[in-house]
Amino acid sequence: MALDLSAERPAPPDEATDGAWLECIACGDSYPPFADVRYTCDCGGLLEVQYASLPTFADFSGTGVWRYESALPLSSGVTTQEGATPLYEVPRLEEEVGVETLRIKHEGMNPTGSFKDRGMTVGVAVARELGVGRLACASTGNTSAALAAYGSRAGMETLVLLPAGKVAAGKVAQAALHGARILEVDGNFDACLDVVKELAERGEAYLLNSLNPFRLEGQKTIGLEIMEAFEADYGAFPDRIVLPVGNAGNTAALYKAFRELLQAGAIDREDVPKLTGVQAEGAAPMVEAIEAGADEVQRWETVETRATAIRIGNPVNAPKALPGIRETGGTAVAVSDEQITDAQRDLAREGVGVEPASAASLAGLRKLRGQGVVGDDERVACLTTGHLLKDPDAAAAAGADPEPVPADTDGVLSHLVGDR
């Protein structure tokens, strides 16, 4: 199968342009990358960007997403200096969880505060290459903020569809300020995506959700950065990467990064980290499929969780992500909203401020460690996908309440002494 770790690199077809082409993961049909607007194969299968030659670590130079231009479909993008995000040490959490190494890859430190910037720097550049006019996405918030920022920087019209009343204020504010036209849909995220897909099919907009294969090319640089950083710090690659799962784009993107490194000879099969997905209990179709051994995900029509960024019932990248989890020896787990909030607080105590969905990775690691699925000798990276201020209401609810004091020093000191 094309998505097996052992699969050989495909030979360039006639449709390849400058060594790149689109290939269907279901039937293997290929298409030129920039001749026409295309999101899926004629058979309905998802597409991947393929390359005639693949780089090794020695081929990368510079910083940020475009350090990896030799692994991307274009040599430059519409950029706001995205990527190169911190890989934090968290010694107290490392000791508490009980693993050999725990690092937090904080994607909330990207320019618009989430990992989505990595996909947009590539995706919007491709849109410009294709000569399209209007950009569009469905969003739980972060995609809309990133698309609005990058679309604005490229001077392109941007349309975002959001589920009414279900998007955190910080994210709506970003999309509005960057000049996107915001449409609030009477439905959930999956209903928004249905509408955007139909708009794209009618030629009314260029879709930049993670169904778009070019967006995932930018997101795969998360995996490349983690691999390089672990090798530099420990002389070894991580054993496991734990990440939140909504539309499963990051799971698919990281798996593609590892397959390409393996095919390039940059790593061996035993170096490939176990991809471990975490969902909220109220929105866990991927976990359901993994636990059932199913080949596909069944859509959840009703989803609910305070982790709004992963409140998704029909992950479009499941056909890429399910093999990624299974082929790497990973797993998927669901956690409660309470476990997510506890993890958010504990990350904050280490100085790492994340939105609720981001904290799902730590909550999932804790649960799997308690079940004995994760060993005490493992080197683990947890991916946190969005900044704390993306959802200020959730942050305020998880934090401590202000304490009223008099407007004089003695009164303040008396209040503090009273706490002892």
pLDDT score for 420:
60
The pLDDT mean for the chain works out to 95
CB atoms within 10 A of CB 348: 16
| Mean pLDDT to the nearest integer, 63-74 | 98
Q: CA–CA separation, 70 vs 55, rounded Å?
A: 6
Residues 101, 87 contacting (CB under 8 angstroms): no
| Mean pLDDT to the nearest integer, 1-18 | 88
pLDDT score for 218:
98
330 Cβ contact list (under 8 Å, min separation 6): 240, 274, 275, 276, 277, 324
The owner of tokens 């990973």 is: 330
pLDDT score for 365:
98
| pLDDT surpasses 60 at 120 | yes
pLDDT score for 180:
93
For the full predicted model, state whether its pTM sits above 0.85: yes
| Mean pLDDT to the nearest integer, 280-292 | 98
Work out the pLDDT band at 172, boundaries 50, 70, 90.
confident
Work out the pLDDT band at 400, boundaries 50, 70, 90.
confident
Give the number of residues written for the chain: 420
Sign of the alpha-carbon torsion through 178, 181, 184, 188: negative
- Find the angle CA(95)-CA(240)-CA(3) to the nearest 5 degrees: 170
| Nearest Cα residue to 39 out of 158, 210, 193, 246 | 210
Q: Tell me the two tokens of residue 385.
A: 């996908």
Q: CA–CA separation, 389 vs 341, rounded Å?
A: 15
Q: How does pLDDT run across 198-222, given as a tens digit for each residue?
A: 999 999 999 999 899 999 999 999 9
Q: Tell me the two tokens of residue 65.
A: 């997403």
| pLDDT surpasses 70 at 1 | no
Q: Tell me the two tokens of residue 149.
A: 């920022």
If 0-12 CB within 10 Å is exposed, 13-18 middle and 19+ buried, where does residue 250 land?
A: buried
Q: How does pLDDT run across 25-65, given as a tens digit for each residue?
A: 999 999 999 999 999 999 999 999 999 999 999 999 999 99
If 0-12 CB within 10 Å is exposed, 13-18 middle and 19+ buried, where does residue 159 land?
A: buried
